[in-house]
Structure 1
Amino acid sequence: MPYLARFLPSTHGLHFANAWPRGAPGFVADVAPVGRLRFGDAGNGLCGGMAFTASDLYLAKRRPPADTTPPGEDHPLFRYISNRLMDSFDIPLGILKYYSWANTPDADTGIPPIVWRGIASRTILDQLPKIAREIDAGRPANLGLVTVRSLDPSALGQCHQVVAYGYSKRARIATVRVYDPNLPDRDDVTIKLDTSHPSEETTISSTVDCRPLRGFFVSSYSRRDPAAIAGPRWR
């Protein structure tokens, strides 16, 4: 199985769970002359910010902070994670992508040559090769996990974000190893799926701590310098 060099969630993931107090803001910004503004609810999770932070740290060759409990809203690490959460949404395109996938059938539909590709074929034919290219190039692949089928935009909050750092394929079964912000220090979290019939509904077997997966895609990620919150360098 190809892996990112030396990446393991137990060494390069954040060492606390994506479990924040209900009512704490998900995003805090100092806006002059208004002052400090608070948005959202961290109790809904900051998985995207944690995933992007882990990728930033790995690419900067920096260890994660030693914190084993989620930091408070005035802590620099919280501010960094909340900012990266907003980046992970890639507004508006990222939100539109989640919404589009949430309203795409599991299997292909239509009659050739007019076929609406389902989530299975998009995941298997488009996204698995993207994950492999990122990891082969030495970069983490940040993934958006689609868990719902709904016209209600608020249902997108039930989707999840993780970091892929290894992959393999044996016969028809593809396996992706991931860092899950909900499961800190766990090196055994995987996503598995049968790739033999991409045009059909495909069951995804996952040990990620979220609702059952319908599909997943590589998120739009741009690295940021994490020096202000990072631990020591690694070589």
Structure 2
Amino acid sequence: MPKTSSINDGLNYRKIGKPCIINNLNQPFVQLPVRSLTDLRIKMGPFKASTDAFVFANSFQMTVENAAQIRERLQGAWSSVFDSVLKPFKDALNDLSVDLDPVNIGPLDLGPSITVGLPEAAIDFVLKEIAGKLVFDNIVGSAGTFGRCGGMAFAGYDFYLSNWQINSSIKTPPSTGVLGDYIFNRLLDSIGMNAMAWLDWSVTLHVLPIASVAGNVALGLAVGSLEGPIGAAFGGLLGSQIGIFDFGGKKVILDRTKDEWGKIKNRLDNEAACPIGLLFSDSVSPLGDHQVLAIGYEDDGVAPTLTVWDNRDGNTTRLYKLNFGGDELNVDQIPFNDDGGIKGFFLEDYAHIQPPIELKI
């Protein structure tokens, strides 16, 4: 049966004074006029974890077959991400050049100087070393025991937008059956819709700093193998600079997260909730990161907070106290969870589907 709807809940949540003209509420919360007060109430929120979230915590077991399906979704997006990740390295190498005196490079009168780029063989050598750090299997690894965080976040919001009750009698994560299959399929949806973002953010945070170090070492070796005036000129150029490559890392992710914070606030100003992706400092691949449902925020410009339904907690909420100062994101979580620290988050793409009719109660 449908859940009980209350416009007053939404008005209180949105801090909108009463009485008010209902028609004036339509546009802030929906792109098209609502069909009913129930539709308006759903859009306004709030999403209440105590009644709208699954009771069981996210503690599913990942099978070999499950892992293969997840890797397939990620691998399908990897070629595009790989090209975009490698491009800044290529651009930096192609931009390297030195000015040489023509007297030192040949008998022809070519003017006062000639600009020479890094030889193609040297560029290929450096890119090969960098690409070695960007192998898909090394980045993603192999799935072991993981949950279905994206599936739970997507499915929970599906139920909410459908105005269906969650079956609170199911207290154990269902690995099979209608609900278990539905949550897993929504996990695949969450990964498929956001695969490029997950790979890009994870590689930027964890792999690009390592690839930058490897690239700088390889560039030094490549230049050291060059002979004559060209080798001397590039040696002098590199000797005057500390690392040509310095890509990725926590500061880059912090800057991206600041942009995403604006997007998330805008979404929550117009919707009851939105799935977001979290990146942890100690995760070694996207499979070690997390997906939750953002359900509210406060931002006074000094101490912003984000309220989420974290599916590891069952049907309770968690508060993130955000600190955007410094060179990396810092998040204090209430209640605390030792997950290595959140170093970035982004708004995920999401599309609502109605859960299987067998799950309607």
TM-score when scaled to structure 2? Answer: 0.50
- Which of 51, 62, 72 in structure 1 is aligned with 2:164? 62
Q: Which residue of 2 aligns with 1:16?
A: 56
Structure 1 spans left out of the alignment, 5+ residues: 30-39, 106-114
Q: Which residue of 1 aligns with 2:196?
A: 93
Q: Aligned residue pairs: how many?
A: 207
Q: Which residue of 2 aligns with 1:50?
A: 152
RMSD of aligned Cα (Å): 3.2
Offset, 1:85? 0.5
Q: Which residue of 1 aligns with 2:323?
A: 194
Question: Are 2:298 and 1:168 equivalent residues in the alignment?
Answer: yes
CA 1:97 to 1:55, structure 2 compared with 1: closer, same or farther past 3 Å?
A: farther
CA distance in 1, matches of 2:52, 2:322: 25
- Which of 243, 249, 255 in structure 2 is aligned with 1:121? 255
CA distance in 1, matches of 2:308, 2:165: 18
Contact 1:47 1:181 in 2 (8 A): yes
Contact 1:166 1:176 in 2 (8 A): yes
Q: Could you say which structure has the larger radius of gyration? A: 2
1:48-84, Cα deviation, whole Å (9 max, x unpaired): 10011011111111122231111132x1001101101
CA distance in 1, matches of 2:290, 2:174: 20
CA distance in 1, matches of 2:276, 2:351: 13
CA distance in 2, matches of 1:176, 1:216: 11
Question: Are 2:339 and 1:205 equivalent residues in the alignment?
Answer: no
1:137-170, Cα deviation, whole Å (9 max, x unpaired): 12421110000367x5xx2221111000000013
Structure 2 spans left out of the alignment, 5+ residues: 1-12, 16-43, 70-141, 210-246
Offset, 1:214? 0.5
Bigger strand fraction: 1
Offset, 1:130? 1.2
Contact 2:61 2:146 in 1 (8 A): no
Bigger helix fraction: 2
Contact 1:65 1:229 in 2 (8 A): no
Question: What is the identity, as a one-letter code, of the residue corresponding to 2:160?
Answer: Y
Identical counterparts, % of pairs: 27
Q: Which residue of 1 aligns with 2:175?
A: 72
Question: What is the identity, as a one-letter code, of the residue corresponding to 1:228?
Answer: I
Contact 2:304 2:322 in 1 (8 A): yes
Question: What is the identity, as a one-letter code, of the residue corresponding to 1:50?
Answer: M
TM-score when scaled to structure 1? Answer: 0.75
Q: Which has the higher contact order (CA 8 A, sep 6+)?
A: 1
CA distance in 2, matches of 1:138, 1:28: 34
User: What secondary structure, in the 3-state scheme, does the structure 2 residue paired with 1:182 have?
Assistant: helix
CA 1:58 to 1:97, structure 2 compared with 1: closer, same or farther past 3 Å?
A: farther
CA 1:79 to 1:144, structure 2 compared with 1: closer, same or farther past 3 Å?
A: same
CA distance in 2, matches of 1:81, 1:168: 30
Offset, 1:173? 1.1
Question: Are 2:243 and 1:140 equivalent residues in the alignment?
Answer: no
